[in-house]
Structure 1
Amino acid sequence: MLFSTKTSGTMSASEGEDEPCSSHSFYDMSLIGRSEMATVEICRVCGKNAAGKHYSVPACHGCKSFFRRAILHKTVYPECKYDKLCFSRASRAVRPRKCRNCRLQKCYAVGMVAMVAIHRKQDSPPHSARSSDSELPDLRMPSPIATRENYVSGIIDKLHNLDIQTDKFRKSAYNPLFIPSLEGVLASSGKLDLADKYGAMSGWPITQESFNEQQVMINQIKTDSFQSHSLALTTSGANFGINTKEWLSFDMLTAIEYAKTFPFFQQLPSNDKILLTKATTFMNLALTSSYASFLSKMAVLQMPDGICISGPAGQYGSSFLYVVFGVS
């Protein structure tokens, strides 16, 4: 979502194909001593230099990370368009790019063990406490290659998990009808974990008739709240039995909550946070909605509740822009 590129489930311009794996993309291999080079095994998946034994077979860090993400996130890749010959000898010369489906199947074929990837978590016991061979730690080479690629792989995994949590938040039953000012949202604690507290919204997809009825209810609630000056009482996650959202408002909130998870954003002065948020949030919520609709193979914007948006945002969407961002 905000400030980042999608890290999983995305299709590149070449339909989900991977660049050739490389365990030395950031460093000059000449920096490694001859004796160390002599001990480098070959990655059983892609044929590049391995960086140790990963998930029971010699593998480079690229293939190791690819296999771990595929297993942990249960990713389903599209079928191969090239008769499942991506890793054939003939294909190596004419098609250096490999589809992800074939790459995952090759990981299984060479003996990578899925259970090792599933059991290897941050809260796993110390190495000395491991009792079975399936739980042995990866054998890493003491070289700068492993350090650099482990660092990059860790960032990718964190961004992927953040995207999953943000998508859960967008589809959750947390549904405030009033959003505080921008300063209030930025100063408040993070809300993405509310997705786990409230759970998924029920009753989706909704019908157009139900959507119209709920919009009337939302307008009435807001009118009553403005007249009774009880805005403070309606900023909670209570949804009043409503299972649709005002998506312009909620997606802006989601984009801001996403940004708040980044350490560099929290280190900015308050005024810089406000300026950066105003300059980027609307663009990023538009990209989020477009991306989600693209994954659903829709030619128009489709919200998680099943309603397609094709017209103006509406009265209260415009008022939200004014109240939160100070623009109309």
Structure 2
Amino acid sequence: MSVSSPSEPESSPCSVLGPRGADAEPAEEKICAVCGDRATGYHFHVMTCEGCKGFFRRSINKGVQFTCPFSQSCPITKAKRRQCQACRLQKCLDVGMRKDMIMSEEALRRRRALRRQRRLALAAPGPGGLSAEQQELIALLIAAHQQTFDSSFSQFTDYRPAVRLYIPSLQSPPEPGGGTAAWPERLDEDVLPDVFSMLPHFADLSTFMIQQVINFAKEIPAFRSLPIDDQISLLKGATLEICQIQFNTVFNAETNAWECGQHCYTIQDGALAGFQQIYLEPLLKFHISLKKLGLHEAEYVLLQAMLLFSPDHASITQHDSIDQFQEKVALTLKSYIDHQHPMPEGRFLYAKLLLLLTELQTLKVENTRQILHIQDLSSMTPLLSEIIS
């Protein structure tokens, strides 16, 4: 039930990302102090490129004495750095590269062996059936979720009051926390003004939840390391779906209501915001089905990460790295389910989740269609317009 209104703050995924997103794409590119090529970090005490790092290590380890055939003042640039090894080595020393920081071949072999052992240890299943790497991933995602999702909705303070002008074709609404909402027979043209009575409030609720999803994504290092354009593409592709996963955590399957702190919402409220039964009925069914699975917090956050890191979204450039991270999340979710949900509870649980994610994609399409039907795109705020575009 995500909608927006003209009063939403002027913001977009690009502007909301802010300085945290900018960390992944420095404004000034790091330059090699030796040749001016793109640097990859500090090597032997100096910011250099991979080429000059390797050249310096080989030259010192081999103990080769280079001789300049010219005047010992050859220009060292990216294009000319191979023309004079003597001047290149001297430039390395002049900018401060240190011989004493170079490891011997034997020391390098030992370090590589230790790294391999550490990778194997991280990948090995622990007592709970999860590897150390998988446990670290779950801990990271749970921390990101807890830091950014206000489950009590105590921070949801900037909103217009909910106005429930119930139309004659609806039965009396339940009290907050009450029973199942009744369905409208139809939404006739003559009652449309009342139908939209909840729209402003849901606009504010949607803005609040979308901003939380953006903050959740920014807490994940793998997300921050992506180019800004890829970050925006992932958010545009997954934010509405992630909102529903988060919304399910406050869904009460006994009352069929979303209990958001002092606020309580039913499907009937969605109808009063202008949404149609063709969307609301499957939406309620989805939340009932997902809630009945009895997911743990770890499974909720892994689902959110799976949705966020989808390599199939439009305009993605880092397809392989996004695909690899999503695969890591999916395998972690499968391992967690296998070891944390005993039979018969855990039977086919992973498969059921994948089916529900497919249903969620269908709901997202219908949600977007109805949002555009409720409100002309030109009247929406930049944030929602960019999310659903």
User: What TM-score, normalized by structure 2, do the two folds share?
Assistant: 0.25
Larger C-alpha radius of gyration, 1 or 2? 2
The structure in which a higher percent of residues are helix is 2
Larger relative contact order (Cα-Cα within 8 Å, sequence gap ≥ 6): 2
